[in-house]
Chain A
């Protein structure tokens, strides 16, 4: 079985400040990890993925995520947040032997000007 936890329903930051969105996962084997963002009235947009290799993954729009196997975490980060980063963010995991993508509950990010 696989699962994802996003412990924060909401994250509020000021523009220009660092942004972190937390994600922890549970899988029986090796994980494939993904971050998606959803803007109002849009579908999910792929930001980045971790498959193997470097623990620091760089993605779209200046986002990056750090894979930590010992803490089973995959936190999303952006050094300097923009108002336009305000959206709903989903972490997702797929076990290497599973077809299904399991999503976290989502974190709403609000960046204030």
Chain B
């Protein structure tokens, strides 16, 4: 069982909808990440939060809006997405500020844009 929990597991939405993806971890990790993964490709980093502050935005379009309400939770708000945004969205966490610690991944949310 993964220690990073993502909900929902599947999401289908229209291009005009607003929805949110949620991620939760209780390992005391202080760095949290959002990745986008296309089928059989490596994950692509989107955002990094360190100690609840947004540290990195990898030039992600503004239709994706991350939020970190507290050290255990990470949200990704979605609005006006495009069909090419259909993918598996993975959340990960690691001990913040310690680069040699592995990232722990959730099982992802599979997003389909109609």
| Residue ranges of A at the interface with B (Cβ–Cβ < 8 Å) | 32, 34, 36, 41-46, 49, 51, 88, 90, 94, 96, 98-101, 103-106, 108
Q: Which of chain B's residues have a CB closer than 8 A to the CB of A100?
A: 45, 56
Considering only CB atoms, which chain B residue lies closest to A39 in the complex?
A: B107
> Using an 8 Å CB-CB cutoff, how does the interface string of B20-64 with A read, 1 for contact, 0 for none?
000000000000000000001111010010000001100000000
B99 A98 Cβ-Cβ under 8 A: yes
B108 within 8 A of A: yes
Chain A residues with CB under 8 A of B55: 99
The 7 A-B residue pairs with the shortest CB-CB distance in the complex, in nearest-first order: A103-B42, A43-B105, A44-B105, A46-B102, A43-B107, A51-B100, A32-B100
Question: How many A-B contacts are there with CB distance less than 8 Å?
Answer: 54
Q: What is the CB-to-nearest-CB distance from A31 to chain B, in angstroms, rounded to a whole number?
A: 10
B81 within 8 A of partner (CB): no
Q: How many residues of chain B get a CB closer than 8 Å to chain A's CBs? A: 23
B49 to chain A, nearest CB (A): 11
Q: Which residues of A contact B7 (CB under 8 A)?
A: none
Find A88's partner among B40, B102, B104, B106 (CB 8 Å cutoff).
Answer: B40
Which of B2, B48, B100, B107 lies in contact with A49, CB distance below 8 A? B100
Contact A99 B56 (CB under 8 A): yes
